[in-house]
Amino acid sequence: MNSHGLARLYDRLTPQERLPLLVAAGARGDVAERDRLLRSAPTVGFRIPDYYGWVEGLHMAAEQYLLTQLSTAGTYWQALMLLAEERGRPAGVQQRRQEARLGRIVKMLAYAFVAHADGWQQFCAELRIDPDAVLRDFPGYDLHRQTDQSARPSALTRQEATAMRRQQGSADAEVVTAEIVARRLHERLRQFSEWWS
């Protein structure tokens, strides 16, 4: 039986059977197959409260924020470990250059982490929401707090981070700021809430 013959049976798939087929079609870029799977699914009706999109949007924004932060935290701690190893080696010109380079990387990663953390704080303050209350139950929350405590004292200022980026290549390079992060989080929340409206 060819795939078009199988497609006639798509309306009989259970949600559990449909899910891996949707993922596989998306992974191989088969838009037509994905659309057939989506269109053939039986629909269900349900009612949700008017705030549902906002709650789900906040949850999605929190997930996106925390995943970004945990990725940065992993790189930050790895760079910090490499810096500590470098400081333990016998001093020499090469070692001092490597140590200085790693020190700059750690400070730039600290800046990025703190800018995002401050953006999250700003986003939540604008919504009049406790930022920790939203994140507290997520895996990685404790690592997030520990990284914030470690990174904040060593983070570059915005001006220093911008200057470092410009030294590395682009004359007009800018760095992420708390305001940019807060704006992106608001956009994510708005898009998701509108989807449910």
> Are residues 18 and 112 located together in one domain of the fold?
no
**Average pLDDT of the segment spanning 161-179:** 83
Structural domain of residue 29, as residue ranges? 3-40
Residue at 115 is within a domain: yes
Query: What are the pLDDT digits (tens) for 45-80?
Result: 888 888 888 999 999 999 999 999 999 999 999 999
Decide if 180 contacts 119 (C-beta within 8 A).
Answer: yes
Q: How far apart are CA 37 and CA 25, in angstroms?
A: 9
Same domain, 32 and 121: no
What is the value of pTM for the model shown?
0.79
- Looking at residue 6, what is its pLDDT? 67
33 and 113 share a domain?
Answer: no
User: How many domains does the chain divide into?
Assistant: 2
What confidence tens digit (pLDDT) does each residue in 126-145 have?
999 999 999 999 999 999 99
